[in-house]
Structure 1
């Protein structure tokens, strides 16, 4: 059933949502699916901005045909060549053989790798600041390399102030009846998923995000149309400020998170006791997570949100407890910065996880490691209360 929606004059959303997908990129758990957004401008010339994932191909193609209503498709603007947005390019070309593909040089390198059969298709190669006239609408192109692929670009409609932002400003989560962020309680429904999306998908590329935010600051943006999640038409500055914080690795708040690994419950018990003392001494909110039960993408998102991270980890085969080691590897690969870590290790005969976690964290930029480290021998007892109190105090005062 055709289900497209109007954004502003002659500009339409023609996407859809996949609520069956359990893992984005076959890695990140999805609690409420994901949307795939695609857009059309119907002017003297018509333009399709990106396609969609194959999982919603029927809906996407119905929407495209419905909004064109028999008109010729003149341009397909390719802002991003990742398969969840480019999978329908060959199908669209087959349905519209005279369409001209619009992208940058790197776009067409990737296009030839995914769709070599389109090598002879009509193309326009654009660079920074180039424009494309559709009639009353003028499209201007903003290069956004490594946000989060090297070919990524934004398209800005100078007539309506619509910024088609590729994977920037996106979020996990299906879109329900409304396509606009202000139709939801965004902080309650989407903010955690927007942060998790940013931290795990784009987080490594803070410097590149900063570069494109500076470009965006010079545009009169009235709408932000991402490829995932709702469209922004109100409170745009609020969401851009989130990107400003996230891309500069600036904590959103002063909350503390405690992440523990535990084989038999002793390290968990110690972590819970420490969390209670941290809440009491700091007056801050303290969240506790089991590294074995919480997906690493959720933990990474919390690291992006909070300033202080407390890790309780048993020694395992003379090393770091495996789920904790995997989490720390994610932090390293995503280039976590500007955080304070405190470490507690447990071991029955040869505690070693603290030293090894320290070595991993010291590879991160501008990360502070609180002293003293807390060492637990098998289990925490009343005789350890003085050491625990000193540890918690050091975290609070760090």
Structure 2
């Protein structure tokens, strides 16, 4: 697949993987992207996952069409992109590996027996590499989402090789909308590092970018403003849309009943985008992504061992460690003798910024009663304002 006249796609699709990074469900697989730039000198942009060494090397050879690569440019050392560096060096011993100081340090850890003597080009932030008519400029992007990450700008074809930036879940041979799986990918994997992403976006704003080549997901060629706007919203932790996520855990169905009743009331009142998640059964990463997507969140759980139910604790931890902020939160708690769930949940957000707590909350003692229905009605009314 040609990206431009001189840039050829050499990546692979992975339909073997069920959990990306051991935790994110990927029903449509994953893409591990790599690119070949043909010029007076040739450059290969990153490698792929270890399970696809032979397929990737064949794709690179096909793109080179009999030529030898001059450079392997390593933007990110996470193994789904770097696992075949040593295989590449063995296949093309005359090629030079291009990376920064932190990348080479990590490379030594991953490949302790690999000898790069005389085959290293260590670059600094803002430095450029000329291939002929193509000039590649390296922009460091530390903690997006590893400390060694850099992106590469080709000023000739106006292409940004964005490392994991603008990536999404899903293989390239599956058709699906970009936003949902890109949001789930960003919030889950990069979400903690919004400040660093904002810094990178400011640099990107100074460049004339016509195409974005991520290490995951499709090459972005049209309506780039849409994708950049989404990244700006996600990385600044602003709500993307008005709406309410109701996330619950329930043992015997009573807390579930309260959560479902609230969701029904919200819909009756015309509240837009009401989404409900059973945190024990539904995709946790989707629940987390939607909590960041919408403006309001209701947490419903029971008191459990003087704390809260484990799936709710996990959910809140995932939110707070990704800098959840700028949202309104309501609480539904349940307990049979000493309910403390609301207090525990609220305490878990004590370091979160700009959280507005609803005035109306719900306190269920074992089972939903008439007074709880009135509390749920009041909470729905407040959330729909």
TM over 0.5, shorter chain: yes
CA deviation after TM superposition for structure 1 residue 27, in Å: 1.2
CA offset digits 1:77-106 (Å, max 9, x no partner): 111111000000000000111111111111
CA deviation after TM superposition for structure 1 residue 382, in Å: 2.4
Counterparts in 2 of 1:1-398, with a 5 A limit? 5-116=1-112, 117-176=114-173, 189-397=177-385
Map of 1:181 onto structure 2: none
Gaps in structure 2 of 5+ consecutive residues: none
Query: 2:248 touches 2:278 (CA, 8 Å); kept in 1?
Result: yes
CA deviation after TM superposition for structure 1 residue 192, in Å: 1.1
Query: 2:361 touches 2:375 (CA, 8 Å); kept in 1?
Result: no
CA gap of 1:348–1:313, structure 2 versus 1, over 3 A, is same
Query: 1:173 touches 1:190 (CA, 8 Å); kept in 2?
Result: no
CA distance in 2 between partners of 1:121 and 1:111 (Å)? 15
Runs of 4+ in 1 over 6 A off after TM superposition: none
Query: TM-score when scaled to structure 2?
Result: 0.97
Map of 1:180 onto structure 2: none
CA distance in 1 between partners of 2:300 and 2:162 (Å)? 40
Query: 1:99 touches 1:122 (CA, 8 Å); kept in 2?
Result: yes
CA distance in 2 between partners of 1:393 and 1:54 (Å)? 53
CA deviation after TM superposition for structure 1 residue 339, in Å: 1.3
Query: 2:28 touches 2:171 (CA, 8 Å); kept in 1?
Result: yes
The secondary structure found in structure 2 opposite 1:118 is coil
Query: 1:101 touches 1:121 (CA, 8 Å); kept in 2?
Result: no
Query: 2:250 touches 2:301 (CA, 8 Å); kept in 1?
Result: yes
With 86-95 and 122-131 compared, the bigger mean Cα shift is at 122-131
The secondary structure found in structure 2 opposite 1:354 is helix
CA distance in 2 between partners of 1:194 and 1:80 (Å)? 19
CA deviation after TM superposition for structure 1 residue 363, in Å: 2.1
CA distance in 2 between partners of 1:300 and 1:131 (Å)? 39
CA deviation after TM superposition for structure 1 residue 121, in Å: 4.8
CA distance in 2 between partners of 1:336 and 1:118 (Å)? 44
Gaps in structure 1 of 5+ consecutive residues: 178-183
Query: TM-score when scaled to structure 1?
Result: 0.94
CA deviation after TM superposition for structure 1 residue 119, in Å: 4.5
CA distance in 2 between partners of 1:110 and 1:152 (Å)? 11
With 100-109 and 115-124 compared, the bigger mean Cα shift is at 115-124
Query: 1:80 touches 1:151 (CA, 8 Å); kept in 2?
Result: yes
CA gap of 1:366–1:98, structure 2 versus 1, over 3 A, is same
CA distance in 2 between partners of 1:66 and 1:86 (Å)? 20
